[in-house]
Structure formats: structure tokens, C-alpha cells
Amino acid sequence: MCSGLYDRTGDLVKKLERYCREKHARKAAAAQILAFVKSTENCFERTHTAGHITGSAWLLNPTGDKALMSLHRKLKRWVQPGGHADGQCDTLSVALREAEEESGISGISPISEDIFDIDIHLIPARPGEEAHYHYDIRYLLRAPHENVVISDESDALEWWSAADFAARREETDEAVLRMAALIPGIKG
């Protein structure tokens, strides 16, 4: 669990600052997330109703030529596995936890501990929940196999190849297509 200013701003701040230096196309979004983390005491808690930090996984199969996509049960769109930090300030651990929970695959490992991608997106209001922002920190991970078990958070799970991303552009968000374009062999 996160506690205190150092924990809240330590590792994630360093990763975001490095990302700002290296990923010029997403520099403005990274700077916005960085400012949010530095200025918001409970940014890792979903109780911060205006928005909160989430962690996601761009999960590749063992050969790296497919990424796991989830038809999200509540959002009704294809997205990468991910979810709320729930007080955990180690966003890589959040991404690993969410990837394992949502895919049913154990033994998932990071390809890199650096941030792969970031996104800020609005989650629409639902009964009992206001519209709010997810400040999403995304990591590149690898699964040891392709056998998945659908969790209660998904209506379907599918491994998508580059051809799938190209053919199903209308079913995905721009941020998903951006991540697909970052990986050779997945690029659609």
C-alpha cells in the first residue's frame, strides 16, 4: 500500500519523468499524469472520484505476435487487461495482478519494467458511479502460454494478431491501436 509522499511519488515519478524524456509523442499526457500523482494525496485510490491511477498490461503471447484483448463486460469494448491500483503505488505490480486475474494465466512476466504507454481516458457515469478519469500506466508483459480463462470482468478474451488489429479497427479505441503499432509484428 502507498503511504506518505515518498512512496506516492518515488518509483512512478521516476518512470514518468523518464517516459517524458523518451516518448515525445505522449509527453503532454505524461506531464499531466505526473502532475496528478505529485498533487493528489489519494491518487491510487478509487475513492478519489474525479479520477485515479490504474495499471494495464499489453500482454503478448509467448512468440510475441499476438496481444490479449478483453471484451470488457461493463464498457462493452475491446481493451487490454488492466484495472484499479486500489492503493498499490507499484503500477507494474498492478498491471501484473490485473493481467493474471483477467486472463487466468499465472507466470506472466514483464518484458520491461519501464512504462510502455500511458493514457488518460474518461470512464462514463454508471448507476452509483460518477464519470471519472483513469490515469492509466501500461506495461509490456509476456504470457508463458495462450490458454485463458474468462473472468467475470470480460465477456470474451481473444489473442489478436496484426491482421486482427487492422481488420477490427472500428471495435477498438485509438489508444489500443497506438499500442498495437508500437510492437513489430503486431502493428496493423
pLDDT score of 2: 53
- 8 A C-beta contact, residue 71 and residue 156: yes
61-91 burial, b if ≥16 CB within 10 A, otherwise e? beeeebbbbbbbeeeeebbbbbbbbbbbbbb
pLDDT score of 4: 47
Structural domains in the chain, CATH included, are: 4-181 (3.90.79.10)
- pTM for the whole structure: 0.91
pLDDT category of residue 26 using cuts at 50, 70 and 90:
confident
